[in-house]
Amino acid sequence: MNESGEPSSSYPAQSSKRREPPAGGPVRPVSSVPANVPPARDPLDPADGPVNAPTPRPSAVRANAAVPTRYEPQPPVSTVPFQAAPEAVSASDTPQADGYGDEVDASTYVSRETPTREEDDPPLAMEAMRAVQILNPSGEVTMPRPDRTRVMCVANQKGGVGKTTTTVNLAVALALHGNRVLVVDLDPQGNASTGLNVPHHTGVPDVYDCLIDSVPLEEVAQAVEGIPNLWCVPATIDLAGAEIELVSVVARESRLARAIAAYPGHFDYVFIDCPPSLGLLTVNALVAAQEVLIPIQCEYYALEGLNQLINNINLVRQHLNPKLEVSTILLTMYDRRTRLADAVEQDVRNHFGDKVLQAVIPRNVRVSEAPSYGQSVMTYDPGSRGATSYFEAAQEIAERGVKEPVSRNA
Ligand SMILES: Nc1ncnc2c1ncn2[C@@H]1O[C@H](COP(=O)(O)OP(=O)(O)O)[C@@H](O)[C@H]1O
Ligand SMILES: [Mg+2]
């Protein structure tokens, strides 16, 4: 938990970089495709990341004095007996081929390291193609726009399930494809503001001012640099006090709803990133929204506690916001190597039916790296599986919004 709410405490090593202008820095320009297409990677290096990765990650190859490092010249293949005639390898030879013996060509064991890398990210050509699709530099590809503003509350009282990551990436994906999008950061930690590279240090006008002092949203919303059509209402640490201060404020549950309704921005989407609690801030988000999007992490305990959230949603619907419905469930941090993730997915699909998006977000290191550069994964590594999955999720949400009535009495 970030107690100070300052981005520097969350990402100490990167904080100063994030505030620098994008030219020449890690923030890549969105308008230029080649600059955004991930750089060629070393196919032999499972740990290879984008050129702007902060520090090289440790080699996955086991340290062994007898084994050459991956970057040293390799011994000629002909000096390795079993490589020269692989079909002649007998069962008794196989222990030698474990990649750690003196006589074994380094490529033998390097190739054993690569499947993990290939599982994580698609081949380069595919990556480049997807990058262009996701960044949409020509602006030609659009996602359907809803008839009226869809206000979506991204909620789950558990922390670390992907609320902020989902908010940021869906917002960027929709904005890159012709939708006008507003992100309201309603978490005092300000992670969504960090992820969108929007200043949110103490003193910056923020959502607290809107909730407590009735400052209009348009006075605090900031355009997100590099992403046309995307705005963010930041959260500073001041918001931490709002939960208590709201108690004595008139119409305390509907302050945000009023602020959003009064915003003349004509947005297609408003995403509200909730804090990990069911307090007054989350209630404000539920009262302001027509839809709830619940990210569910594909881990044990995933469904535990959800009843409490659903009960609160029902209470808000009964008493404060009859239009509210849980419209979307998104499975996040799916690790396909575990059976547990499969089991959780089945559970969630059985429980919530077609509210669950077909798109599932895998656990992907690019997704977790992106915020430390003040970016979404969509711009940080648009060819990665994380970006592709969020793009697919955004597309599904956009299409559902057109097929089904967006707000209805449930
Ligand atoms: N698909 C993913 N793959 C890998 N890491 C992820 C993924 N989604 C989120 N994370 C990481 O998990 C942590 C918690 O995610 P976050 O979106 O902040 O959750 P919440 O807002 O629910 O607390 C963050 O460090 C984030 O970078
Ligand atoms: Mg969060």
pLDDT at residue 335 is higher than 90? yes
Test site for ligand 1: of 368, 373, 378, 390, most ligand atoms within 8 A of the Cβ = 368
Mutate to test the pocket of ligand 1, among 165, 293, 301, 333 (most ligand atoms within 8 A of CB): 165
Domain boundary, last residue among 120, 149, 174? 120
In a domain, 24, yes or no: no
Nearest CA to ligand 1 atom 24: 368
Q: In what order do the strands lie in the sheet with 230-233?
A: 222-223, 230-233, 181-185, 269-273, 150-154, 291-297, 325-334, 356-362
Determine the average pLDDT of the residues in 67-88: 37
For residue 186, give the ligand nearest its CA.
2
Residue 204, in any domain of the structure: yes
Atom of ligand 1 nearest to the CA of 334: 1
> Can you read off the two tokens belonging to residue 395?
């597309």
For residues 89 and 95, what is the distance between their CA atoms, to the nearest angstrom?
A: 11
pLDDT tens sequence across 115-132: 344 456 667 887 888 888
In a domain, 50, yes or no: yes
Instruction: Give the residue whose CA is nearest to atom 23 of ligand 1.
Output: 160
Same domain, 114 and 209: no
| Residue 3 within a domain | no
Mean of pLDDT values over 238-246:
92
Distance in Å, CA 162 to ligand 2 centroid: 7
Chosen domain end from 94, 120, 146: 120
pLDDT at site 302: 83
Residue 409 within any structural domain of the chain:
no
Please name the amino acid found at residue 374.
G
Within a domain: 15: no
Q: Which of 76, 92, 120 is the last residue of a domain?
A: 120
46-60: burial string, b at 16+ Cβ within 10 Å, e else: bbbbbebbeeeeeee
Residue list, ligand 1 pocket, CB within 6 Å: 159-165, 191, 276, 332-333, 361, 363-364, 367-368, 371, 386
Residue 11 CA, ligand 1 centroid: distance in Å: 14
Closest ligand relative to 380 C-alpha = 1
Structural domains counted in the chain: 2
Query: Both 137 and 210 in a single domain?
Result: yes
> Could you tell me the CATH number of the domain that includes residue 189?
3.40.50.300
Same domain, 283 and 356: yes
Identify whether 19 is part of a domain: no
Choice among 58-67, 270-279, 350-359 with the minimum mean pLDDT: 58-67
| Mean pLDDT taken over the chain | 77
At 30-59, the pLDDT tens digits run: 333 333 434 444 333 334 344 343 433 333
Residue 31 to residue 136: CA distance in whole angstroms:
9
Question: 230 and 137 in one domain?
Answer: yes
Q: Find residue 293's DSSP bridge partners.
A: 154, 328
> Do 115 and 160 fall within a single domain?
no
* Claim to verify: residue 156 and residue 99 sit in the same structural domain: no
**Which residues lie at CB < 5 A from ion ligand 2?**
163-164, 187, 191
What is the extent of the structural domain holding 108? 42-120
Q: pLDDT at residue 167 above 60?
A: yes
Q: Are residues 279 and 358 in the same domain?
A: yes
My answer on whether 371 and 306 are in the same domain is: yes
Same domain, 286 and 317: yes
Do 96 and 223 reside in the same domain of the chain?
no
**Same domain membership, residue 323 and residue 256:** yes
368 found inside a domain: yes
308 and 389 housed in the same domain: yes
Which amino acid belongs to residue 39?
Answer: P
pLDDT > 60? residue 244: yes
